Amino acid sequence: MAVQFLDATAAQAPRLIAYPVNQDAIPAGIEQVLAEGARATRFSGKAGQIFEGFVERGGQVVRVVLAGIGKPDAADRPAAIERAGGGLAARFLTSGETALTFDVTGTGLSADDVAGLLLGARLRGWRYDAHRTTLTDEQKVSLADFAVIGAPDGAAAAWEREAALAEGIALTRELVTEPANVIYPETFVARCQERMAGSGLVVRVLDDLEMKALGMGALLGVAQGSERPARMLAIEWNGGVAGEKPMAFVGKGVTFDTGGISLKPGAGMEDMKWDMGGAGAVAGAMLALAGRKAKANVIGVCGLVENMPDSKAQRPGDVVTSMSGQTIEVINTDAEGRLVLCDALTWVQREYSPTAIVDLATLTGAIIAALGNEYAGVFSNDDDLAAKLDAAGKACGEKLWRFPMGTAYDKMIDSPIADMKNMGSRYAGSITAAQFLLRFVEKDGSGKATPWAHLDIAGMVWADKPGATWDKGATGYGVRLIDRYVRDNLES
């Protein structure tokens, strides 16, 4: 969707125009019939309210919409503004209207507010129809362009930053939405290479033979039941001080998860195409960082496999050797994501010596049982890193809830025949998964462990109902969180 910033005097009268309205401040300059109609329907400008009407202006009929953005001093003001933009995009996405103009004159909106309004509209207006061939005209997306009248100085530059974020989220949603016969390890890599060409990102790829030579027996053990070979994707952005060590983000990329020999129930298994949501978030975030030329050095790593129950698939009871040299008894082949991540964690530490690591993974159903679809879980060996992630999540609306870790949980994954098991009992499943990953966080010569956090995002990457800035389906969760963390902590 294209965005233009127009001068009020030069702008041609739009066919569809929206006025963001502060609470109890219906614009004085609009037609009386609109003002009276709004009041009659109890529209007052509260966040989320929308009123629509038609008037004649300059000899043509104009569709006018009032969109409530709440009180100017409200704590949730940025979210309310995004919600207004998203609500308008949802309302007119398939309406037959092709362009929507926002008139922000006299609203007091800042440059960042205007960018947030457009971001909400852009995100909620995203839809992926690549595989739909029988849509009627009434079902097809018609809304293609946005314009802004009366924007304050700096709004265009602010939007340029947010537009890069929107592009990253769009890539993540696209990867997560595509079916597993379209996106698998090789094509995930190819899609990223295509979308990242010319961005300034450096893309590296390890194939299965290279990973075997490096000793990645845990990751390759998951992949061995599939005809689709595994891949390790590394995406580098060097926008900071030359030579400074990067921050690392690592994503679980199980492009389809049957559970392997520990086969999942058939009902709902189609959802497992989005078990690569962590890798999708990392890829989208890297594209966003490059798009806005972030002044930071960041590495994104995606461990990509498909988990299938072939005759060559690993069995419950098998023992695999990870790149770190630690051995793992595979108790359940459906606890595969941690096997992928552990080798990815080892590789990124030995290859890049990052200042800190955050991994993102749709790792456990237990996190959904605990938090539903409202928060992602965060586990960390570093209080400062956990606090900064929490602050970033609150600032961008991608919320986190911290869970405990400790040796009592660690004992639950001890194995009688190997260094560890890949899962514990039915209790504390998300915590024991994090304890497993912690064993692959390495220490420097002084014994200090790399700051690390694990985000279990299983309940957040896919939505069964629309939200303020997404429709049913892929949400793009994680991209905004990573981007905000980088903005607030690596670029400030």
User: d(Cα 357, Cα 348) in Å, to the nearest integer?
Assistant: 9
User: From the CB of residue 397, how many other CB atoms can be counted at a distance below 10 Å?
Assistant: 18
CB-based contacts of 465: which residues, under 8 Å, 6+ apart? 472
User: d(Cα 262, Cα 421) in Å, to the nearest integer?
Assistant: 15
Residue 483: its H or E element: helix 479-485
Q: Which residue has the tokens 């955050």?
A: 358
Q: How deeply is 384 buried, as exposed, middle or buried, from its count of CB atoms within 10 A (0-12, 13-18, 19+)? A: exposed
Q: What are phi and psi of 346, to 5 degrees?
A: -60, -45
Residue 33 DSSP symbol: H
Helices (H) and strands (E) in the chain, counts: 14, 19
pTM above 0.85, yes or no: yes
Q: Are 240 and 300 in contact (CB under 8 A)?
A: no
Q: Are 426 and 351 in contact (CB under 8 A)?
A: no
User: d(Cα 358, Cα 335) in Å, to the nearest integer?
Assistant: 20
CB-based contacts of 437: which residues, under 8 Å, 6+ apart? 338, 341, 342, 345, 359, 452, 454
Nearest CA-CA partner of 81 in 125, 49, 114? 114
Domains of the chain (ranges, CATH numbers) = 2-153 (3.40.220.10), 163-490 (3.40.630.10)
Query: Side chain identity at 470, as an amino acid letter?
Result: W
User: d(Cα 236, Cα 397) in Å, to the nearest integer?
Assistant: 26
Report the catalytic residues.
Answer: 264, 338
User: d(Cα 59, Cα 53) in Å, to the nearest integer?
Assistant: 16
- Six token digits for residue 330: 């595979």
User: d(Cα 365, Cα 363) in Å, to the nearest integer?
Assistant: 7
Decide: helix, strand or coil at residue 424.
coil
Q: Are 83 and 120 in contact (CB under 8 A)?
A: yes
Characterise 106 by phi-psi region: left (phi > 0), alpha (psi -120 to 50), beta (else). left
One digit per residue, pLDDT tens: the chain, 492 residues?
Answer: 899 999 877 557 799 999 999 999 999 889 999 999 999 999 999 999 999 999 999 889 999 999 999 999 999 999 999 999 999 999 999 999 999 999 999 999 999 999 999 999 999 999 999 999 999 999 999 999 999 999 999 999 999 999 999 999 999 999 999 999 999 999 999 999 999 999 999 999 999 999 999 999 999 999 999 999 999 999 999 999 999 999 999 999 999 999 999 999 999 999 999 999 999 999 999 999 999 999 999 999 999 999 999 999 999 999 999 999 999 999 999 999 999 999 999 999 999 999 999 999 999 999 999 999 999 999 999 999 999 999 999 999 999 999 999 999 999 999 999 999 999 998 999 999 999 999 999 999 899 999 999 999 999 999 999 999 999 999 999 999 999 999 999 996
User: From the CB of residue 7, how many other CB atoms can be counted at a distance below 10 Å?
Assistant: 9
Query: Side chain identity at 294, as an amino acid letter?
Result: A
Decide: helix, strand or coil at residue 461.
coil
Separation of first and last alpha carbons in the chain: 30
User: d(Cα 307, Cα 257) in Å, to the nearest integer?
Assistant: 5
Distances, alpha carbon 1 to alpha carbons 17, 146, 167, in Å: 16, 7, 10
User: d(Cα 123, Cα 383) in Å, to the nearest integer?
Assistant: 32
User: d(Cα 294, Cα 166) in Å, to the nearest integer?
Assistant: 15
User: Between β-strands 16-22 and 376-380, what pairing exists: parallel, antiparallel or unpaired?
Assistant: unpaired
Q: What are phi and psi of 430, to 5 degrees?
A: -70, -35
